[in-house]
Amino acid sequence: MTSFFSRLSQGKVVVALIVLLLVIDQVIKIWVKTTMVLGQSHTITSWFQIYFIENPGMAFGIELGSKLFLSLFRIVVMGFCIYLLMRLVRRKEHTLGFLVCLSMIIAGGLGNILDSIFYGVIFSDSHGQIAQLFPAGGGYETWFHGWVVDMFYFPLIRGTFPSWLPFWGGESFVFFEPIFNFADACVSVGLVLLLSCYPRTVSILLDGKKKPTDETLDQSASTENE
C-alpha cells in the first residue's frame, strides 16, 4: 500500500509540474503575441530585454528541415519522453529528482509543440501589427506550421573583436545573442540537471543492451543522491 501511494504521489507531482510549466510558458507567449509587434523590444536592464521574434526552428533558433517535419519530429520525441516518464512513474520509487528533470524537458517540448500546431491557426500575423487571438479572417498559417514565439534576450557583453583577429577582426559581437523562450529554458535546465545529477541513471536507460530493473535504477538513484 505504501508503495502504491508513493508512485501515486510521484505521478501527481510530475503531472502538476508539467501543467504548471506549460501554463507559464503559454501565458508568456500569448501576452507577447497580443501586446507586441514582431521585432519590438522592452529593455528591462542593460543586459536583459523582452525581444519579440518568431522562430521557425528548434531551441535557440536552430532549424531542422521543413516546418512540418520539425513539428512531427518534436511530437515523436516528446511521445517517447512521455512514455519513458509514465514507465518510470509506474515502476519506480525514490527517483523523484530524475522525474522532475524529465518533466521539465517534456513541458518545454510540449510548449513549443503547441506553438507549432496551433499558433498559425489561432493568431493573425504579427508583422507590423499586434496579433489578434482567434481572428475573424483566420490565422497566418495552417495546422502544424505555426512559428514558435521567442522573447528572452540576454546581451550580457557587447564589444568589438580586435582588428588582428582573422575573419572577424573589427566586427562587433554580442554575448549571449540567442533569443529564447520559457520552454527552451525548461528543456535546457532539465537536460543539464539530468546529465549532471543523474548520469548513471541516464546511462542505464540509454544502454540498449541492458533492460533497467527496479533494483538497478534504485541503486543508481541512491548513489547519485548521496
> In terms of Cα–Cα distance, which of 46, 60, 71 is closest to 143?
71
What does the alpha-carbon distance between residue 108 and residue 144 come to, in Å, rounded to a whole number?
Answer: 17
Please say if 125 is a catalytic residue.
no
Which of 25, 115, 125, 184 is labelled catalytic? 184
Pairing of strands 157-160, 48-55: unpaired
Please say if 25 is a catalytic residue.
no
Q: State the cell numbers at 147.
A: 512559428
Which of 25, 125, 150, 218 is labelled catalytic? 150
Pairing of strands 148-153, 179-180: antiparallel
**Whether the Cβ atoms of residue 95 and residue 221 lie closer than 8 Å to each other:** yes
Question: Which residue reads 503575441 in cell numbers?
Answer: 33
Residues involved in catalysis: 150, 184
